[in-house]
Amino acid sequence: MATTTHQITCAADDCDAYSLTAFLQPLTPAERAVRHRRQLAADGWSDVEGRDYCPDHPVAVPAP
């Protein structure tokens, strides 16, 4: 069985934070993304307009 991974990097300027998840189960790319994003939310990451931010960076919704 092949290991697959999913990585997300913080969208804040000058931030090197990232989250990497490895899966031993055969999952589709969409399933891996959903599971990883669920865990990111539990760990304090946020998703604002499709951009991911680590827990060290405040979430600011851009002005329209």
Which pLDDT does position 60 carry in this prediction?
Answer: 62
β-pair partners for 21: 6
pLDDT for res 2: 62
Nearest to residue 18, comparing CAs of 60, 57, 62, 63? 57
The fraction of the chain above a pLDDT of 70, given in percent, is: 86
Beta carbons within 8 Å of 34's beta carbon, 6+ residues apart: none
DSSP type of residue 42: H
Tell me the pLDDT tens digit for each residue of 37-59. Answer: 888 888 888 888 878 888 888 67
> pTM of the predicted model, to two decimals?
0.62
pLDDT of residue 6: 76
- pLDDT category at 63 given cuts 50, 70, 90 is very low
Collapsing DSSP states into helix, strand and coil, what is residue 32?
helix
